[in-house]
Structure 1
Amino acid sequence: MSFPDRPGALGKVARVLGTLGADILQVTVLERETGRAVDDFVVSWPGSPDTAAVRDRLSAVPGIRVEGVWPTREVPGAAPDYDLLRHVATDPSRAFATLVDAVPDLVGAEWAVALSSDGDGLVHRSWQAPPSLDEGGGIAGVKLADLASLRPATLASGSHQLMSLPVPAARIHLVLARTTGPSFHRAEVDRAGRVVELVSLIAGL
């Protein structure tokens, strides 16, 4: 959610969410520049929220822009980064498979795959990844070879938002995807990139 970076703006967002019955569990600042703030809110509702109504009510407040509303598996207050690194350290031989399985939850992605940097195709997929990838299919019309050639970047293709990160130590490219919500933010790319670096170091040791 984007809104003016000035006193009282966050309170307006909280009040609107409160009138909708939302319980704010966590707020993460993604960006503060050019007079605006971009924050990620994790909230809970009793029952299933009407995401269209949430977007409409918030967008009606002057200055507030809703970037996206989507479900998440993230547990506020948890430390999934540390949990991932602990599992990697316990079994370094599966370091990059563990990374692919666990990294989607760190950045609100739905699934992830590891692609060979040598052009050999799919190396590993998280269980949520589309089965068609096992048959060499592309992702939302983007060929796997094209994704593997990207440097740290985000890409919108059809209904998919993609993040691509090189993992030189394993000669793979990590690709994450989500079909709901906005494009991956720079802060999310940076977070995933730091985790990739640490996993590479642990695997090397």
Structure 2
Amino acid sequence: MLLRVRVTLPDRPGTLGQVARTLGVAGADIVQVVVLERLGGRAVDDFTVVWPGASRVDRLLAGLAAIPGVQVNGMWRAIGAPTSGGQDAELLAQVAANPGDGLATLVDAVPGLLAADWAAAAVVPADWAVRSGSTTAAGDTGGEPAVAYASWRAPTPLRLPEVTPLRARAMPGPTGTHFAAAPFGRAGLVLMVARVDAEGLTAANFHVTEVDRIAQLVRAAAVILGDRLDLITAPPPAAARS
């Protein structure tokens, strides 16, 4: 199976090699390394590795923890290797080529770009607010968020954290779920992307660089789709509501 391993490590020669050797000795085959951050003598790196499905991850975690200065921020199962920014342009080209399905194309593709589990586009009413730390089922009655489109791995009913005020950010959700949100700038439409703890593994929160990437994709898609998004967010006619 594919695992994503996020580590914080000293940004000095040799440490990255130590992490890579430790992964290899434990039985992991590295297929990709992504540097998320280098700041103040520390770096945050994501490793995507092939891991024997029958093997326990305890020895992998123990080996990484034994390296001086290395901290494991998260380890979770990935559907595929996260793609680089070059695929973002290809995705936006697909959205532009078929704008009628543009929102669905974006929502379906984003989880694969960021090693996430699912994504959804939801319309958040301007007056929607819930208690801090609580969650609400999207699509229920009472002026709560309505799901415009969700990827195939999204749970039903879909439960979202509080996202008002609308701005691009990472946020906690229900226990074991990690969210990132980015607004389209169109009548409360927001893209939610989620990672879920599963199989005894703990996923990492979305890094600021990942949030920025999601926000850039959403802004570009909003420009491409334009008035089509207004049709999605428009309230139903009075006759339909009655």
How many Å apart are 1:3 and its aligned residue?
0.5
Match of 2:216 in 1: 194
Give the counterpart letter for 1:4 in structure 2: P
Aligned-partner residue type, residue 171 of structure 2: L
Q: CA deviation at 1:203?
A: 1.9
| One-letter amino acid of the counterpart of residue 121, structure 1 | A
1:11 correspondence with 2:17? yes
Name the residue aligned to 1:126: 151
Corresponding residue of 1:173? 190
3-state SS, counterpart of residue 173 of structure 1: strand
Aligned pair in 2 of structure 1 residues 76, 195: CA closer, same or farther (>3 Å)?
Answer: closer
Q: Secondary structure at the match of 2:71?
A: coil
| Letter aligned with residue 208 of structure 2 | R
Mapping of residues 20-99 of structure 1, within 5 Å: 20-75=26-81, 80-99=87-106
More off after superposition, 7-16 vs 85-94 = 85-94
Could you tell me which residue of structure 2 aligns to residue 109 of structure 1?
116
Give 1:196 deviation, angstroms.
Answer: 1.3
8 Å CA contact 1:51–1:69 kept in 2: the answer is no
Q: In percent, how many aligned pairs have the same letter?
A: 41
Q: CA deviation at 1:86?
A: 3.1
Give the structure with the larger helix fraction: 1
CA offset at residue 76 of structure 1?
Answer: 6.2
Instruction: Classify 1:30/1:100 alpha carbon distance in 2 versus 1 (closer, same or farther; 3 Å).
Output: same
Alignment of 1:129-144 (within 5 A): 129-133=154-158, 138-139=159-160, 142=161
SS of residue matched to 2:77: coil
TM-score, reference length from structure 1: 0.86
**Residues of 1 paired with 2:226 and 2:193: CA distance?**
23
Gapped runs of 5+ residues in structure 1?
Answer: none
1:66 alignment partner, SS class? strand
Aligned to 1:2: 8
- RMSD of aligned C-alpha atoms? 2.1
CA contact (8 A) 2:119 2:193 kept: yes
Q: What is the CA-CA distance between 1:46 and the residue it aligns to? A: 4.0
- Equivalent of residue 182 in structure 1, options 204, 226, 230: 204
CA distance in 2, matches of 1:179, 1:46: 21
Question: For residues 83 and 49 of structure 1, what CA distance do their matches in structure 2 show?
Answer: 36
Look at both structures and tell me which one has the larger radius of gyration over its CA atoms: 2
Amino acid at match of 1:177: A
Q: Is the 8 A contact 1:25 1:76 kept in 2?
A: no
Change in CA separation of 1:156 and 1:23 when aligned onto 2, cut-off 3 Å = same
Deviation, structure 1 residue 75: 3.5
User: Unaligned 5+ residue runs, structure 2?
Assistant: 1-6, 126-143, 198-202, 228-242
